[in-house]
Structure 1
Amino acid sequence: MALSGEHDLGGLLDDLETASKLPAKRRQTSIKPTVEKVKSALYDSGALPDELARLVELVTLRNNLDQASLGAIVRNLYPSRKVDDEAVLRVVGALGHGHLKPNLALQAHLLRWLVMVYHLLENPAVLSQLYGVLFNLLDTAAIRPQLCHLLALITRRKHVRPFRIQSILGLSRQTGSDPHLTGLLRVFKNYYPEIIVGDVTKGRAATFKHPDPEWRERVGKIQEQQVQNQGDGGTRNGFAVQHALDRKIKGGNASLFPPVHTQYAQETSVTLEEIDKVDDLVGNLENIELPTQLVAIMADPLLQKLLLLRPDAEAYSRIGNWLMACMGDVTSGDADFSLFLDMLDVVHDYVTSTKTLPLLLQSFFRRFFDFWNGVDRRDIVLETLSYTPLRDFAELYEQLFRPLERSMMDNTVASQLSLLKFYTLLLRRWTIVMQSRNRTETLSGSSIADLVGHVNKLTLTLTQNSPSAATHLTILDFYECTTILVSQPSLLQYVEITIPSALIVYRLQFGQSLVVLSRLYGILAQYKKAWEAVMAPSSLRQLLLRERQQITAFNGWLMDLCNCIWRGRAFGTSDLNAQGCRIPPSLEPVLDAYVREVDSELSLGTIFDLSHSPLMCLQSISFVRELEDAEVDRSPDELRTRHAGPVTHASLVQLADRGGLELSWQEYRLGVLRHLESNGFKGIPDLMYNTMKNLMKQGRGGKGQSR
C-alpha cells in the first residue's frame, strides 16, 4: 500500500539514513521494502523542502546503500514545491571524479533530475553561476549527454566565450562529432552566428527533448495539488526570456509562435536573451536589440514588457504582417484551422497580460471573423475583444463589433446572451480605464451612451425571446455597470447618461422574480441620483440634448412604478408624467372589469401594491406575521386574532377592532420596506426613499403620513 504524508515519509527517511550507515551484512532486515515505500510516498505526494534536502544529501554522499536503491530514489525524486539553492549546490558538488563522490551512473541520474526540475528551481540563476564548473566536466563521457542538455538549458549570451567554443570543437573532433556536443554548439551558434561557421554544426545533433514526459506530468499534478492545499502558487519570471527549451519543458500552445532569438548580434550587443532580472531590463532598456521574430511577443512576457516600455511602430507592423500571413495560410488551405484556433489561446494570454488589444490584433480579428463559425473558442474570442480600447463606438462597431455579431449571431438565445455578456465585460473594462485616467475629459464619453443605446436593442430582443429570470438578471448585470459610471461625480462630468428602453423597464417590472424587481428599482434609484446631480446648480456641466429628451420618459417610469406599489393607482394616467405603464387607455377598463369579476374586493389599481403584488405579497404578510409573533411572545393573551392577508388600510382598522395587532397603514408600509431591505431586497426601499417626497423628508425608519 502506498504511503503518503509528511509523517510517513519522515519515518521512512529515518530508516534509510540509519541503514545507509551500516554495511548490508550488518543489517537485520532488507532495505528494499523501505525503498519501495519511499518511492510510493514520493510518487503520491512528492517531497517537501526538508524531505527533499535529506534525500539529496542521502544520494550525493557516499554511503552503504546499493546503487539500485539510490538510483530508484533519484528517479522518483518528485519535489512538491520549488527546489531551493542548497539542493542544486549539493547535486553539482557531487559531480566529477573523487573517492567520496557518487559513481558516474548515479551522477548521470542526478544531472537528468536537474534537467527535469529546471522549471521548478526557486532561483534558476544559481546554475548560471555554476556554469564554469559544469562546463569543465564535459570531458567526462559518462555524464556528457545529461551535462550537455543541462548546459543547453542554462546557456545565455554571457556564457558563450571563444575559449569555450574552442573547447567544444576540440572535444567534438576527439569524440567523432558527438551529437550532444553538436547540439550544444548549435545553442552557442544562436548567440554568435558570425563566429561559429562552417560545417561543424551540420552533423547529427541531440534535440534535447524532455527526458521523461510522464515524470513531468506527474510532478505537475503534485505541484498543482500542493498549490491547492497551501494556496501558494508560483509565478513565472516575467523578467527573463521564455527560452525555446523552456517552452518544450512547459509545453502548451506557446510553441506555436517562434521563440525569442536575436540573430546577427555582435559581441557588444545587448539582447533580450541576456536579461534575467528587472535591473538588467531597466539598465539596458534603450540599448536592447529587438529579436528577429517579433511575433514571439505573443508568448514571451519579457518582450511584451519591452515593447510596452519602448513602443516601436515598425515592430508592431512586422508582428501584424506575420499574423496576416498566418491568416492567409489558413484561408488558402495551406494551414489547418484547428492550429489557428490554438493560436487564439496564446493571443488571449497576451491580451489579458498586457490589458490591451492593439490595433494590429483588431485588424487580425477583422480578418478572422470572415471564416470563423462563431462557436469555436467563443469565450476566448469574446474575453480577448473585451480589452478593446475606449474610442468612438460607431467606428468600433463598424470595424470590429458588427463583423463579430455577424459571425456569432445565429438567432439563438445562447448567442444573444453571449453577446450581451461580452458588452457587459467591455463596459466594465472601459469603466476601469476611465477611473484610472487622470485626464478623463480626453475620453469619448459619448461612446458609453452609444454602447448603451446599442445594447438596449439587444436586451429588448432577449426579453422577447427568453422572458426568464436568468435572462433578466443577465440584462441587469449590464445596466448595473452603467450605474457605476453615472454614480461617480468625477466621471459623470464627461459621461452622457443613457437610460434603458422603456419596454425593458416595464417587462422587468411585471416579471416573475422579486430579485429582478429589486435590482431594477436599485438601478433606477442610481439613475435618479445621477439626473439630480447633473441638474443641480453646482453641476459642472449642463444637460445634453439627448439627455433632456430622456428626462420626461424617466420621470414617467418613476411615477408609474410608485403608482403600482405605493399609491394603489397602477396604470393610472392622472398624475403628472404618469404613462400608465404604456398600456392602451381603452384596455384599462377592460382589465379593471376582469379583476373585479375575479374578486369583487380587488381593483386594477391595487393589485400590484405591496400587499397584493405576486412578487411582494409573501414578504408583506411575513412582516405582519413577525410582528404578531413578537406580540404573542410579549403578551400571549392580548392578541385574539391574526390578519388573514392581504393587508389593506381598511383591514388594519378592522383587525384592531377585533383584538388583533394595532398597526397603522403608514407604519405597515414603512415596515414592509424595512423588511424587504433586511432580507436583501434593497432596491425597492432605495427607489421609494429617493422618489416619494414624504419618505424623503422622514428618512429611513421614520414614521409619518406618506401618500
Structure 2
Amino acid sequence: MSLITEDSAVELGTIILRLREASKIPAKRRTTNAKALVQDLTSRAYDQGVQLAELEELIDLVIRPNHLDQASLAAIVRNLYPSIKVPDDVVLKVVGSLGLGQLKPSLTIQGLLLRWLILVYHLLRNQAVLSQTYAVLFNLLDTAAVRPQICHLLALITRRKHVRPFRIQAILGLSRQTGTDAALLGLLRVYKNYYPEVIVGEATRGRASPFKHPDPQWRERVDEIQLAHLQRTQSEASGPQNGFRVQHSLQKTTRKSNIPSVHTSHATETSITLEEIDTVQDLVQKIEKIEMPNQLIAVLADPLLQKLMLLRPGDEGYRRVEHWISACVADAASGDITNGELLDMVEVLHDYVLSIKSVVQEVLKSWDGQDRRSALLEVMSFAPISEFSTLYETLFKPLEGRLLNNTPESQLHLLGFYTMLLHHWTVFLLSDDIPAHASSTIRALLEHVNKLSLTLLQTLPSASTQLQILDFFERVTAIMSRPDLLAHVQITIPPPPLVYILHFSQSLAVLSRLCGILAVYKKNLEVAMSRPANRQLGAYERENVNTFNGFLMDICNCLWRGRAFAVSDANALGCRIPQSLLPSFTSYMTGLDRELVLGSSFGISHSPTLCLQSISHLRSLEDAEIDSTGGELYKRHAGPVTQSSLAQLGTGGGLDLSWQAYRSGVLQHLEDNSLEGIPNLLYNTMKNLKNSRPT
C-alpha cells in the first residue's frame, strides 16, 4: 500500500490545480487531457487518500459550475477517500449544493454526494452538523432522483427531537403518492421507533428492507487509509488520546496487553455510567453521579476515564492501577508473560502517563535499551522531583546502564531524556508548591548533564550535537527566567569549557543561541543581586558570578572590542587560552596576511561565522544607495570591513558610513534574520551600546 509522502502530496495538489484550470475551458478548446488527469487523481486518491486542503478543493470542483463531463465528476466523487476526519465546512458545502437550480450540480452528482455523506458518516469530525441541516435535507424528499439517498441519510441522523407531526404527515403523503417506495417506508419505520403510538395502520407493514451500507468495500478501503494516517501521525507526534466518549474498540497494543475496556455493571437507577457520556457537557453536568467502571485499569487506554479520574481523584483508584501494573511486572519476572508483552504495555502506559504524570520504574528491569526507546524515555521523563541521590540510584543509574552502549547516539538520547525531564520539572514547579530539595536537585542534575555535554562535544563534535546541548540549557533559562522560581532555585552556569567550545563553533545558529542563553543568565543574575531582602546570592552563586563575568568579557572582546584572548581587562580570562600560545597564533595569522590582526579575527567583520552576515549588510546599504541616487557608486568595499577601510571608502567615492553605524547596522541585520542572540548579549553587556539600541 502506498503511503503519503511529502512528494506525493505535492504531486496530488498539482494534479488538482491542473484539473481545476482545465475545468474552466470547454472540452473542444481544451489542450489538457482532463480525463487523464481525473484518472491519475482517482488512482492516487485510492492509494493514499486525500487530506483536508485537497478534499476542500475537490468538493469545490464538483459542486461549482464547470466544463468537466459528468463521468469525470462522478469518478472524483466515488474516489473521495478522506485520510482525515471530515470537517463541518465540507459537510455544509455538500448540503448547500443540493436542490434544483442552474448553478447546482446535476441530480446524478447530487445523489453521489449524498451517498458519499452516508459513506463517511462515521468519519465526520462533528456528526451533529448534519442534525443542524435536518430541515434542509427533509425538504428534498420530494425530489425523486435523490430520495433514496436522502431517506438513508435521514435515517442515520434522525433523533427523537426531529420526529414532528408535520413531518410524519409529509412522509405519509409522499408514500401514498409514490406507492410502495421502500426508502420512504424505511424512514417511516425509523420514525415509528420513536412514536409507535402515533404511526399506525398499513403504512409500515409494507416490505421495507432496512437501509444497508452502500459500498462495504469502499468502507474497508477508507478505514485502511484512516488507520495508516493515524499510525503515521502518532509516530510523528505521539500524545495522549483526547475524547469525551468511551473507547469501545481499543488499539492493537491495548489488546496485546490485555487492557480491559470500560464496563460498568453495578450502576443504580439514579447513577450514570461512563458509557452513557459522549460530550463534554455530559461529563461536566453528570460528573458527581458517574459510577466508576468495574476495572479501573481501563484508564490506561480510555481517555474519558482518564479525564474522570483526574477530575475526581481518589487514592483507592490509583492503588488499584498500581497493583495491576505491579502484577504485570511480576508476571514478566516469573516468565508468565514475555518481555515483548511487557513492552507492549509500555506503549499503553506512555499515553496514560502523559495524562496522570506517573512513572512505572519497574519496566527498566527487562528493557534492552533499544526497543520502544522513545516512548519509554518520555514516560520516564515524568519522574517526580525528589532528592537527586534517590533519583539517581532508583532511576537515572538503571536507565543509563540500559541505554548507554558506548555510542554517541545513545548519549544523545540520554541528553534528550534529561531535557524532557527538566521541562516537566519546570511545569511541576510552576503548578505546585516548591519542595525544599528542588534547588539542590536541579543543581545536581545540571552538574550531571554538564559532564554528559562535555563528553558529547568530544565523541560527536557536530553542530547538531551542539544545538541539542543548547536545547537543554534553554530549558535551564526557562526556570531562571521566572521570578517565582528564581527565589528558590540556585543559578548554575554552564561549565567554562562548554561555553568556549560553543562560542568558537562553526555554526552561526549555535553562536547566536549561546549568546541568547548567556544574555538571559546575565539578566537573572542581576535580578537576584538586586533583591537582597528576597533573594541573596550564596557563596556558590557568587563564585558563579565571577566566572560568568569572564564569559561576558571574553565574548565581547572577541565579537566587539577587537581584543580576542586578552587578559588585561578586569574579569577577562582570554577564553582560557594559555598566553604562551598567542605568539604562535599571531605568527600564523601574519603568515596568511600581514594585515590580519589576531585580536580582531573573531569580530563581526572577520569571524568565520559572522563575516557573511556583515558583508551582506554592507552590500544591502550599497545597493540602497545606488537605488536612491539613481547612479553608480565609484567604489564598492571588497571586505572584510575595518574602521580604516570604511574611512578610505568614504573618501574614495564609496559609501560614506561610520564605523559605529556599520557595526550597529550589522546587529540590526542579525536581528532581522532571527539571530537576535548576539545583539541581545552585546546590548545588555556593553555600556556604550545599552542606550543606543533602536526601539
Q: Same fold (TM over 0.5)?
A: yes
| Distance apart, 1:535 and its partner CA | 0.7
Query: Structure 1 residues 429, 217: CA separation in 2 closer, same or farther (over 3 Å shift)?
Result: farther
Q: Identify the residue that residue 322 of structure 2 maps to in structure 1.
A: 320
SS at match of 1:326: helix
C-alpha deviations, 1:32-70, integer Å up to 9, x for none? xx999979844544897579989x99xxxxxxxxxxx99
Structure 2 partner of 1:388: 383
Match of 1:624 among 615, 618, 627: 618
Residue matched to 1:260: 262
Contact 1:473/1:516, CA 8 A, preserved across alignment: yes
Structure 2: give runs of 5+ residues left out of the alignment.
Answer: 1-37, 46-57, 65-69, 100-110, 135-151, 169-174, 199-204, 233-239
Other-structure match for 1:679: 673
**Compared CA separation, residues 539 and 523, structure 1 to 2 (3 A):** farther
**Aligned partner letter, 1:613:** S
Corresponding residue SS for 2:535: coil
Distance apart, 1:660 and its partner CA: 3.7
Equivalent runs, 1:288-307 vs 2, <5 Å:
288-307=290-309
Q: Say whether residues 1:478 and 2:472 are aligned partners.
A: yes
In structure 1, the residue matched to 2:362 is: 367
CA distance 1:479–1:132, shift in 2 (3 Å):
farther
Alignment length (residue pairs): 568
Q: Quick one: distance in 2 between partners of 1:404 and 1:527?
A: 31
How far is the alpha carbon of 1:544 from its aligned partner?
A: 2.4
Q: Secondary structure at the match of 1:689?
A: helix
Instruction: Give per-residue Cα distances to partners, 1:138-191, cap 9 Å, x unaligned.
Output: xx9x999x99xx9xxxxxxxxxxxxxxxxxxxxxxxxxxxxxxxxxxxxxxxxx
**CA pair 670-128 structure 1, distance change in 2 beyond 3 A:** farther
Q: Is the Cα–Cα contact under 8 Å of residues 638 and 659 in structure 1 kept in the other structure?
A: no
Query: Counterpart of 1:90?
Result: 155
Judge conservation of contact 1:441–1:494 (CA < 8 Å) in 2: no
Aligned to 1:664: 658
Q: Does 1:530 align with 2:524?
A: yes
Look up the match of 1:241.
Answer: 246
Q: Which residue of 2 aligns with 1:196?
A: none
Q: Check whether the contact 1:39–1:76 (CA below 8 A) recurs between aligned residues.
A: no
Residue identity opposite 1:332 in structure 2 = S
5 Å-filtered alignment, 1:522-601, equals 522-537=516-531, 540-601=534-595
**TM-score of the aligned structures, taking structure 2 as reference length:** 0.69
The structure 2 residue matched to 1:218, chosen from 219, 222, 236, is 222
Query: Do residues 699 (structure 1) and 661 (structure 2) align?
Result: no
Q: How far off is 1:582 after superposition?
A: 1.0
Residue deviations 1:225-271 (CA, integer Å, cap 9, x gap) = 99x9xxxxxx98844433xxx316xx543333111234566667654
AA matched with 2:679: P
% identical aligned pairs = 45
CA deviations 1:578-632 (Å, max 9, x no partner) are: 1111122322222222222333322322221222211112222333333333444
Flag the 1:277–1:677 CA change in 2: closer, same or farther, 3 A.
closer
For the residue of structure 1 that corresponds to 2:599, the secondary structure is coil
After TM superposition, the structure 1 = structure 2 runs for residues 81-480 of structure 1, keeping only pairs within 5 Å, are: 81=124, 83=127, 84-85=130-131, 90=155, 215-219=219-223, 221=225, 238-242=243-247, 246-247=248-249, 251-255=251-255, 256-263=258-265, 271-275=273-277, 281=283, 285=287, 288-352=290-354, 354=355, 356-358=356-358, 362=359, 364=360, 366-437=361-432, 444-480=438-474
Does the 8 Å contact 1:43/1:76 carry over to 2? no
Task: Report deviation, 1:107.
Answer: 7.1
Q: Secondary structure at the match of 2:450?
A: helix
Give the deviation of 1:420 after TM superposition.
Answer: 1.8
Q: Distance in 1 between matches of 2:452 and 2:588?
A: 34
Q: Provide, for residues 616-660 of structure 1, a one-character-per-residue CA deviation record: whole Å limited to 9, x for no partner.
A: 122223333333334444557795433332222333344444444
CA RMSD of aligned residues (A): 4.9
Question: Could you say if the C-alpha distance between residues 368 and 127 of structure 1 is closer, same or farther in structure 2, counting changes exceeding 3 Å?
Answer: farther
Q: 1:117 corresponds to which residue?
A: none
Deviations along 1:189-210, one digit per CA (max 9) or x if unpaired, are: xxxxxxxxxxxxxxxxxxxxxx
On the 8 A contact 2:81/2:222 being kept in 1, the answer is no
Aligned-residue offset at 1:524: 0.7
**In 1, Cα distance between equivalents of 2:351 and 2:388:** 25
Higher gyration radius (CA): 1
SS of residue paired to 1:369: helix
The answer on whether the counterparts of 2:182 and 2:208 sit within 8 Å (CA) in structure 1 is no
Q: Distance in 2 between matches of 1:288 and 1:551?
A: 57
CA distance in 2, matches of 1:642, 1:280: 73
Residue 365 of structure 2: SS of its match in structure 1?
A: coil
Matches of 2:309 and 2:378, distance apart in 1: 22
CA distance in 2 between partners of 1:683 and 1:75 (Å) = 53
Distance 1:520 1:425, change over 3 A: same
Contact 2:296–2:321 (Cα < 8 Å) also in 1 = yes
Measured after TM superposition, the shift of residue 276 of structure 1 is: 5.0
- Report the Cα distance in structure 2 between the residues aligned to 1:543 and 1:482, rounded to whole angstroms: 18
After superposition, what is the alpha-carbon deviation per residue over 1:455-480, rounded to whole angstroms, capped at 9, x for unaligned? 21221111111211121112112212
Structure 2 counterpart of 1:90, one-letter code: A
Deviations 1:292-327 (A, max 9, x none): 322111112232233223333233222122112222
Instruction: Give the letter aligned to residue 302 of structure 1.
Output: L
In 2 relative to 1, CA 36–259 (structure 1 residues): closer, same or farther, beyond 3 Å?
farther
What amino acid is aligned across from residue 518 of structure 1 in structure 2? S
Equivalent-residue separation in structure 2 for 1:550 and 1:661 (angstroms) = 45
Q: Matched residues in 1 for 2:353 and 2:192: separation? A: 32
1:554 Cα deviation (Å)? 0.5
The one-letter amino acid paired with 2:298 is: A
Q: Name the aligned partner's letter for residue 218 of structure 1.
A: V
Unaligned runs of 5+ in 1: 12-33, 58-68, 115-125, 134-139, 151-210, 229-234, 703-707
CA separation in 2, counterparts of 1:268 and 1:667?
78
Task: Please point out which of 472, 477, 481 is paired with 1:487.
Answer: 481
**Pair 107,397 (structure 1): closer, same or farther in 2 beyond 3 Å:** farther
Distance 1:215 1:443, change over 3 A: farther
Contact 1:533 1:539 in 2 (8 A): no
1:608 is paired with a residue whose SS is: coil
How far does the alpha carbon of each residue in 1:312-349 deviate from its partner, in whole angstroms, 9 at most, with x for none? 32332221221122223333333233333332222222
Counterparts of 1:425 and 1:609, CA distance in 2: 35
Q: What is the alpha-carbon distance in structure 2 between the residues aligned to residue 636 and residue 270 of structure 1?
A: 80
**Alignment-mate amino acid for residue 699 of structure 1:** S
Q: Deviations over 1:484-537 (max 9, x none)?
A: 222232332223211111111110111101121111111111111111111115
| Residues 331 and 593 (structure 1), Cα distance of their counterparts in 2 relative to 1, 3 Å cut | same
SS of residue paired to 1:586? helix
Whole-angstrom distance in 2 between the partners of 1:397 and 1:127: 68
Say if 2:118 and 2:153, in contact at 8 Å, map to a contact too.
no
The farther-off stretch of 618-627 and 504-513 is: 618-627
In structure 2, the residue corresponding to 1:605 is in which secondary structure? helix
